[in-house]
Copies of this chain bind each other. A is one copy, B any other.
Amino acid sequence: MKIGFIGLGNMGAPMALNLLKAGHAVKVFDLSAAAVQTLVDAGAQACGSPKTAASDVECVITMLPAAAHVRSVLSADDGVLAGIATGVPIIDSSTIDPASVKAFAELAARHGNSFIDAPVSGGTGGAAAGTLTFMVGGSASAFEQVKPVLAAMGKNIVHCGDSGTGQVAKICNNLVLGISMAGVAEAMSLGEALGIDPKVLGAIINTSTGRCWSSDTYNPMPGVIDTAPASRDYSGGFGTDLMLKDLGLATDAARSVRQPVYLGALAQQLYQTMSSNGAGRLDFSAVIKLYRCEGGTGSGGGAR
């Protein structure tokens, strides 16, 4: 299959590589010449604009930082819609707000194209390994059409419902994630301050009603889970600034439908504090630093 791929960042580049590995012909565009060269070295065809990348292909995939970039890539004079043939589906794997998805889908529909939201989870590790989860919003037929392409890059391809629901699923999952991580951070820090061994506390929570991914897989207290970012100084993982972006999408979406998100809004402030403290690139589980005293002595806590 001939595929146009636009946006070769930390996520997009390994995703495009997996398309090549699966035998697809891939035309790529990115503002970074270095990023493009890496893909060209692997067999991709470099393009000078989104328009060119979208021309003469059977599918277009975009993986961009925010809705503003998607808008521009779609509708600029040298954008996707200027080059794409009628009927070719556009898959957007960026994480953006559901309202923008609807606007882009209408825009694409007027050009005779379907616009399918397909944000991912799984991080850069999943992107490299081809084990991403894709949360797909769009019609049943559009879903069936793009599923084989996504299968070259991911393990779970989930149809979430109509246009925009892929983004809704991602935003809502990450809303729970941001809250539960901060909640685990509070509980682990409180336990430490009250004198219980964090490993013991972690083990109890992980076999009880408090168990969650933030505790049993990504526990924010160093030493509790050996493979978690907390046990390697919060390097790697899912960055605080990315969590902050997703909580921003969640609270904005909530505002748009007048839906209160008390804990989500508060969690957002906690990660924002971390970011303003210069910790935006640490794994988001570093939010526990807001709770633990420096020495971690357990003798009384302390937020910073």
Listed in ascending order, the chain A residues whose CB lies under 8 Å from chain B are 98, 121, 133, 135, 156, 158, 160-162, 164-165, 168-169, 171-177, 179-180, 182-184, 186-191, 193-197, 200-201, 203-205, 207-215, 218, 244, 248, 250-251, 253-255, 257-270, 272-273, 275-278, 280, 290-291, 293, 300-304
Residue of A183, A207, A301 contacting most chain B CB atoms (<10 Å) = A183
Which residues of B have CB within 8 Å of A164?
Answer: 194-195
A195–B262 touching, CB < 8 Å: no
Q: What residues on B are CB-neighbors of A214 within 8 Å?
A: 209, 212
Q: Given the interface contacts A205-B173, A273-B303, does A260 sit within 8 Å of B291 by beta carbon?
A: yes
Give Cα A268 to B260, complex, Å: 9
Q: Please report the C-alpha to C-alpha distance between residue A169 and residue B180 in the assembled complex, in whole angstroms.
A: 17
B169:A191 contact, CB within 8 angstroms: yes
A201 to B98 alpha-carbon distance, docked (Å): 15
Closest B residue to A159 by beta carbon equals B200
| A171: B residues at CB distance < 8 A | 190
Which residues of B sit under 8 angstroms from A172, Cβ to Cβ? 187-188, 190-191, 194, 196, 201, 205, 210
A269 to chain B, nearest CB (A): 5
CB distance from A230 to the nearest CB of B (A): 15
Instruction: Find out whether the CB atom of A259 lies under 8 angstroms from the CB atom of B179.
Output: no
Question: CA–CA, A250 to B188, complex, Å?
Answer: 12
Assess the A301–B173 pair: CB atoms within 8 A.
Answer: no
Is A204 a contact partner of B135 (Cβ separation < 8 A)? yes
Q: From residue A127, how far is it (CB to closest CB) to chain B in Å?
A: 15
Q: How far is the CA of A265 from the CA of B187 in the complex (A)?
A: 12
Q: Number of copies of this chain in the oligomer? A: 4
B180 lies within 8 A of A261 (CB): no
**Residue on B nearest A206 in the bound complex, by CB:** B173
Option from B160, B195, B218 in Cβ contact (under 8 Å) with A165: B195
| A268: nearest chain-B partner, CB-CB | B265
Name the B residues within 8 Å of A175 (CB-CB).
183, 186-187, 190, 210
Instruction: Determine the chain B residues whose CB is within 8 A of the CB of A254 once the complex forms.
Output: 190, 193, 272, 301
Q: A168-B194, A179-B263 provided; 18 other pairs, C-beta below 8 A?
A: A158-B204, A160-B204, A172-B205, A173-B187, A173-B209, A175-B190, A175-B210, A179-B179, A179-B182, A180-B183, A182-B263, A190-B253, A209-B213, A209-B214, A255-B272, A258-B272, A260-B273, A304-B304
Are the CB atoms of B261 and A277 closer together than 8 Å? no
A207 near B259: Cβ-Cβ < 8 Å: no
Q: How far is the CB of A291 from chain B (nearest CB, A)?
A: 6
In the bound complex, do residue B191 and residue A180 qualify as a contact, i.e. CB atoms below 8 Å apart?
A: no
Closest B residue to A272 by CB, please name it: B260
| Closest beta carbon of chain B to A221's beta carbon, Å | 11
Report the nearest B residue to A256, measured CB to CB. B194
Contact of A195 among B161, B174, B176, B209 (CB under 8 A): B161
